[in-house]
A and B are shown apart, each in its own frame.
Chain A
């Protein structure tokens, strides 16, 4: 079983819809959770990070962490065509010597 599982998609939704992106993980030691957005042929861009269970909101984006289920989500409200990209979840352990583990990424297409 991989440490981080993420459905590669592609996921296509109409403009204005709410998008739900998810990852599951197997290592209960993970404490720090991040979401990155990556446009084609670009480096990943840090969207949100959190190290606690619950919700964290930033504009149209909400990150949700459920440590009991080892499940994290990213919600995008009022989706725009410019949100079309690959979204990568990533996680690590609260020890500065530990590396970050990434999911494979979910390709998202917002249809105008």
Chain B
């Protein structure tokens, strides 16, 4: 049973560019949440997707957007990258039938903005 997978593993971008990160949830899960984890900090909630719609959003600007596909996989898009966007981006999946708090994380995508 595959767990949560994310791609790519690492990414280097230049300020002002756009980036797309991808996530496939754990088998049987239908809800995907995205988090940003800066070095030495805990994960910060970006948003959550369920039934292909954004259900909840944290304090992140509109430059951060997402999408969920019918197979429950998800994308995180960040436009007009800033140096401060450099972080580990984590995807977590859960089952809406059980509890959205039992979240299982992927290995993350490390984004470096230069």
Do A and B belong to a common assembly? yes
When the two chains form the complex, which single residue of B40, B45, B90, B101 contacts A34, counting CB atoms closer than 8 Å? B101
- Residues in chain B within 8 A of chain A (CB atoms): 4, 33, 35, 40-45, 48, 55-56, 58, 90, 96, 99-108, 110
- Residues in chain A within 8 A of chain B (CB atoms): 4, 6, 8, 32, 34, 36, 41-46, 49, 88, 90, 92, 96-105
Complex Cα spacing A41 to B40, Å: 12
Given A34-B101, A96-B96, A104-B42, 14 further pairs, Cβ under 8 A? A6-B42, A8-B40, A43-B107, A44-B90, A44-B105, A46-B104, A49-B101, A88-B43, A90-B42, A96-B100, A98-B56, A102-B42, A104-B41, A105-B40
Which residues on A sit within 8 Å (CB–CB) of B56? 97-99
B105: nearest chain-A partner, CB-CB:
A43
Q: A88-B42, A102-B42 are in contact. Are A43 and B108 (CB under 8 A)?
A: yes
* 17 A-B contacts (beta carbon < 8 Å): A34-B101, A41-B110, A42-B107, A42-B108, A43-B90, A43-B105, A44-B90, A44-B105, A46-B103, A46-B105, A92-B101, A97-B55, A100-B45, A102-B44, A104-B41, A105-B40, A105-B42
Which residues on B sit within 8 Å (CB–CB) of A88? 42-43
Complex Cα spacing A103 to B100, Å: 18
